[in-house]
Amino acid sequence: MEKSEIQFKSFNLSINAERLFSRLTKLGQIGRDGDGKLTRLAATDTDKAGRDAVVVWMKEAGLEIAIDRIGNIFGIWRSPDAEDQAPILMGSHIDTVINAGIYDGCYGVLAGIEVIKTLREAGVVPSRPIAVAAFTNEEGVRYAPDMMGSLVFAGGLPVEEALATVGIDGTLLGAELERIGYAGTEDPGFLQPHAYVELHIEQGPVLERMGISIGAVENLQGISWQRITIEGVANHAGTTPMAMRRDAGHAAARVVTFLHDRAISSTTPTVATVGCLHFEPSAINVIPSRATFTVDLRDPNEQRLKDEEAALADYLEKLAAAEEVCITAERLARFEPVIFDDNIAELVECAADRRGLSSKRMTSGAGHDAQMIARICPTAMVFVPSVGGISHNPREYTSESDLVAGANVLLDVVSRLAGVL
């Protein structure tokens, strides 16, 4: 489809920027500790406080509130002329990492509410219902896997299995959702979307460095998470000759170097990260007997991702023999690359052009709820620049002009999908 084939009707609406910024700021204050650090892990008291605020804002927008059994929150605008139509769904998440910024996830949820509020205030009558979702446990910090709420909603994980998940603090997700009052009654998937659009900060440096306002996200990298355990022999750091050691710490360091060197020397977009690393007995004068660490592999091509997994497995086998250690690997999560809907990505480009904004097609390097919802309906994402490419960090920042631009593009795309434009 050529861009010229998509014609938007005359449409002069724009979101209320002051209202959006005010809510982003208010939500960004919920969950701060005595040092000012922002943390809202899934199903905690601070998550409850954030959810409560979002529900209030959804109700202020005139939305019907529905909560499913995994705790996903939906604000639904049911068009009187389209009760039997599948809705256009927007959304993201409001749970955070530890010591987070204020935009990741929250921007997509609050902008979705703002889109509906803007349309309702203008007296618009869509030909489809429009809804916004706040999905549970997208970050996966307290409970694994990440993107759990949207995965359960899309039918990729049984709800009972998800509710039985044990967190890093020993709690059960189901019990914690009950405790905070967000164990809903709707079965996951009760709402079947016609299409899903997620607005998000890029969390990377591409748009800012290229001076581009809008990213029309057409695909998302596949993700492979593993936990590697290396068993060696603890011994005295001073009396054990180097050649006589079975050093789990040294073996782990070799894996880290292997992954880095392989990725950086490749001409592909593969990335590899060791994000967690722990030695036992963790004493300065004892050779580590055990090393446990995580490996995060990502690539937008499924075959390349499989090749990287195979290369790592082969290296670990050879390393175990060379270092005389025992190595085991546990898969934590595995998601194939996702191809988003080309027509919606095209709408994003055309909406940006209509607003006088530059845009480009791009790949998402991070995982998002959109990759799960893409299993059940046409899906795409809208990115706006992240200053310095920083995210999962209190220095995460996107300018107000870019936030407004992204929300207005979302407004146009959703309006077109809902028959308004």
pLDDT in tens, the chain (421 residues): 344 445 566 568 999 999 999 999 999 999 999 999 999 999 999 999 999 999 999 999 999 999 999 999 999 999 877 778 999 999 999 999 999 999 999 999 999 999 999 999 999 999 999 999 999 999 999 999 899 999 999 999 999 999 999 999 999 999 999 999 999 999 999 999 999 999 999 999 999 999 999 999 999 999 999 999 999 999 999 999 999 999 999 999 999 999 999 999 999 999 999 999 999 999 999 999 999 999 999 999 999 999 999 999 999 999 999 999 999 999 988 889 999 999 999 999 999 999 999 999 999 988 899 999 999 999 999 999 999 999 999 999 999 999 999 999 999 999 999 998 7
State the Cα–Cα distance between residues 33 and 181, nearest whole angstrom.
22
Q: Report yes or no: 147 and 367 within 8 Å, Cβ to Cβ.
A: yes
Q: What pLDDT, on the 0 to 100 scale, is given for residue 79? A: 82
**157: its two tokens:** 């994980």
What pLDDT is recorded for position 2? 44
62, 118 contact by CB (below 8 A) = no
Collapse the DSSP code of 384 into the 3-class scheme (helix H, G, I; strand E, B; otherwise coil) and give the result: strand
The response to whether 200 counts as a known ligand-binding position is: yes
Is 139 annotated as contributing to ligand binding? yes
Long-range Cβ contacts of 300-303 (<8 Å, 24+ apart): 300/219, 300/220, 300/221, 300/222, 300/269, 300/337, 300/363, 301/222, 301/268, 301/337, 302/222, 302/336, 302/337
Q: Do domains 3-220+338-417 and 222-335 have the same CATH topology?
A: no
| Residue 261 annotated as binding site | no
Q: Rounded to 5 degrees, what are φ and ψ at 291?
A: -125, 130
Domain boundaries, the chain: 3-220+338-417, 222-335
User: Residue 34, Cβ neighbours under 10 Å: how many?
Assistant: 5
Ligand-binding site membership of 368 (annotated) = no
Spatial separation of the C-alpha atoms in residues 375 and 190, rounded to whole Å: 15
| pLDDT of 265 | 97
Rg of the chain, C-alpha, whole Å: 23
The pairing of beta strand 222-231 with beta strand 326-335: antiparallel
Contact 8, 421 (CB under 8 A): yes
Confirm whether residue 392 is marked as ligand binding.
Answer: yes
Architecture of domain 222-335: 2-Layer Sandwich (3.30)
Fold of 3-220+338-417: Aminopeptidase (3.40.630)
Those residues with Cβ within 8 angstroms of residue 154's Cβ, 6 or more apart along the chain or in another chain: 189, 372, 373, 375, 376
